[in-house]
Amino acid sequence: MEATLLYEGKAKKIFETDNSDEVIINFKDDATAFNGGKKNTFSEKGRVNLAFSKFFFDLLHQKGITTHVVSFIDEISMRAKKVDIIPLEVVVRNFAAGSLCRRLGFEKGMELKPALCEFYLKDDSLNDPILCREHIRYMNTVTEEELAYIEQQALNINEIIYSFMDSKGITLVDYKLEFGRTRDGQIILADEISPDTCRFWLKGTMESLDKDVYREDKGDLVSSYKRLADILGLTL
């Protein structure tokens, strides 16, 4: 019997399971940029992104971070806790790049210490606008206490991944996280962590090993991801 598709996004499909509190997430081979304005399909991309997500989620689990992961099924699918995604994209920045430079004129590569945590509305139709805390308060999607918890979790995750990547000769420039609420109200880390959602530079340079390779037409996307995997000792 074919599983029922619950949702299809730009990079993943979500299917129901026989457990109402769990879903199956299938990673697609599609790559998008500029809120879907640029789109291509790359062989193996889904498999590679799931391998990175497993790698980073395993690292976070070892450090006591709760995520939506239940198990990994095969090379492109994982079983996860069913959550209502909170419509906030949480972006943590250690160095200036991307939209921060375009919006504020910051020099690319400028160090941001302490790390900067920003919130964006998760809504492609509005081009994911940046939010201040007052905007979030009026949206009534999270309480102030929940927002403080989300921010602290994002910064904790940053410390874990930044330190690990630095030890491997890679700079974690910035990245996007999404959080979701379980049926019992617990807020946990969801979505994925991969070169699709992070900026990674070779340490001491601004050479990209992430989706900027695709955004800026700087080379072959999957080859760049595989190069990063080799540096991390991740077998694909």
| C-alpha span between 51 and 88 (Å, rounded) | 25
Same structural domain, 105 and 50: no
Is 100 within a domain?
yes
Residues 6+ apart with CB under 8 A from 213: 219, 220, 221, 224
Is residue 51 exposed (0-12), middle (13-18) or buried (19+ Cβ within 10 Å)? Answer: buried
Same structural domain, 138 and 166: yes
Is 228 within a domain?
no
CB neighbourhood size of 65 (10 A): 15
Q: How many domains does the chain have?
A: 2
β partners of residue 149: none
Same structural domain, 52 and 159: no
Structural domain span for residue 18: 5-81
Out of 81, 109, 135, a domain closes at 81
- Please tell me the pTM assigned to this model: 0.95
Q: Note whether 23 and 6 are within 8 A (CB).
A: yes
Residue 78: CA count within 13 A, CB half-sphere: 25
| C-alpha span between 34 and 57 (Å, rounded) | 26
Residues 6+ apart with CB under 8 A from 223: none
Is 231 within a domain?
no
Same structural domain, 51 and 103: no
| Tens place of pLDDT per residue across the chain (236 aa) | 468 999 999 999 999 999 999 999 999 999 999 888 899 999 999 999 999 999 999 999 999 999 999 999 999 999 999 999 999 999 999 999 999 999 999 999 999 999 999 999 999 999 999 999 999 999 999 999 999 999 999 999 999 999 999 999 999 999 999 999 999 999 999 999 999 999 999 999 999 999 999 999 999 999 999 999 999 999 98
Same structural domain, 94 and 128: yes
